[in-house]
């Protein structure tokens, strides 16, 4: 049993939706134009960062003969083709619907921009409607720094009407930078990492899962799946 929580914050990419594979495909396609390979070793250093930060790191690391803005423009062309295909991750719909139906305040805290989220979630609008609010770091003026800075989670928590204390918030993440950000915000954090991530790097996470399907809400004082007092 962990500390009881009252509010839940979710990352999006790689946690609730399977978009990480499409990001990889988009980055790989652009890099390949210049004879460069976008490897897992490069990708592992980017997880959890905002879009521009990722682009800057890729251009610099792979020594691409283009600017960050040019890289972003070429990636956007890829996104418009790939992102509408995005599906929900296993267990995402069940967990989010359960918390919503039980009256647990939930919100989205993603490093993606508003345009990116709408593109990826075009066919998942009902799913998005379950969240009290969405904080999209790359386009939100209040999110002054990206993960691993705690800003996005602190801003997200502050937008609930009852403004819960950080200790009462549980974060769901898939990336190391997300874990660092949540812990810096003094929040508990459940991580569902890419299986290639070194588990030794995730020791600060409150709980490590292989899938959202494995999560037991009652561990954090939330209503269990089989006895929800729905509102």
For the chain, give percent helix, strand, coil, nearest 5.
45, 10, 45
The continuous run of DSSP H or E covering 107 comes out as strand 106-110
Residue 162 known to be catalytic: no
Q: At what angle do helices 68-82 and 51-61 cross, to 10 degrees?
A: 120
The total number of residues shown for the chain amounts to 231
Residue 63 known to be catalytic: no
Six-digit token string for 33: 């134009």
Residue with tokens 């600017």: 67
CB atoms within 10 A of CB 205: 23
- The rounded distance, in Å, linking the Cα atoms of 169 and 11 is 13
Question: Which of these is catalytic: 13, 69, 149, 174?
Answer: 13
3-state secondary structure of 70: helix
- The rounded distance, in Å, linking the Cα atoms of 205 and 192 is 10
Which residues are part of the catalytic machinery? Answer: 11, 13
């Amino acid at each position: 049993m962990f500390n009881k929580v009252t509010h839940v914050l979710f990352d999006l990419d790689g946690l609730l939706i399977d978009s990480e594979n499409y990001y990889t495909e988009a980055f790989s396609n652009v890099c390949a134009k210049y004879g460069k390979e976008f490897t897992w070793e490069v990708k592992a250093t980017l997880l959890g960062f905002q879009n521009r930060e990722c682009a800057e790191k890729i251009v610099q690391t792979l020594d691409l003969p283009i600017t960050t803005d040019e890289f972003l423009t070429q990636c956007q062309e890829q996104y418009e083709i790939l992102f509408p295909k995005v599906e929900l991750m296993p267990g995402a719909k069940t967990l989010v619907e359960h918390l919503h139906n039980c009256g647990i305040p939930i919100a989205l805290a993603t490093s993606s921009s508003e345009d990116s989220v709408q593109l990826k979630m075009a066919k998942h609008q009902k799913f998005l409607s379950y969240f009290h609010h969405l904080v999209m770091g790359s386009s939100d003026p209040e999110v002054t720094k990206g993960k691993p800075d705690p800003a996005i989670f602190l801003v997200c928590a502050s937008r609930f009407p009852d403004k819960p204390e950080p200790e009462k918030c549980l974060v769901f993440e898939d990336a190391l930078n997300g874990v660092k950000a949540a812990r810096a915000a003094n929040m508990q954090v459940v991580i569902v990492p890419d299986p290639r991530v070194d588990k030794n790097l995730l020791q600060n996470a409150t709980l490590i899962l292989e899938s959202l399907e494995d999560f037991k809400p009652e561990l954090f004082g939330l209503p269990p799946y089989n006895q929800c007092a729905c509102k």
